[in-house]
A = this chain, B = another copy of it.
Amino acid sequence: MPPVAAATEKKVTELLKRQSLSVTASRKRILQLFLDQPGALSHGAIEKKVGSVFDRVTIYRTLQTFVDRGLIHTIPSADNAIRYALCKDECGDGHHRHEHIHFVCQQCHHTYCLDEVVTPVIRLPKGYSPQQVEILVQGKCKQCTVSARR
């Protein structure tokens, strides 16, 4: 067993226990996928990455559990596939508080949380009571801009 993998395994196990979640193979694997890369993942992307190790339903339920516990959050999209990304510390069991925007690259199709960019206050006409604001920016991401320039 390589020491790096062992370290990550310990980390995800700790994370799960901290949320009082049973530590199972699927939860460890899926949580690790999120930790291993900076972007957001859709159910389909996860299915591709883990192969047929886990049932589709298990993946759906795992994602829902993570959302419920404030481990990950959902990101709306224009292509009918919900993306999920890791939450920061402010989120917890039963509550999410996000003030960042999301960026979707039209070239590589990755979705990123831009934690540095705070959602501005949107002033609505009389009568509308806002609860949550989602900002979705589409364009070309850092990586794709750089590789186009070379």
Contact = CB atoms under 8 A, between A and B. Distances in A.
A91 to B, nearest CB: 16
Nearest to A77: B76
Contacts of A77: 76
A127 B141 contact: yes
Interface of A: 74, 76-78, 80-82, 101, 103, 106, 114, 116-117, 120, 122-142, 145-146
22 contacts: A76-B136, A101-B122, A103-B128, A114-B128, A117-B122, A117-B123, A117-B124, A117-B125, A120-B120, A122-B135, A124-B137, A125-B142, A127-B141, A128-B141, A128-B142, A130-B137, A130-B138, A130-B139, A131-B138, A133-B135, A133-B136, A134-B138
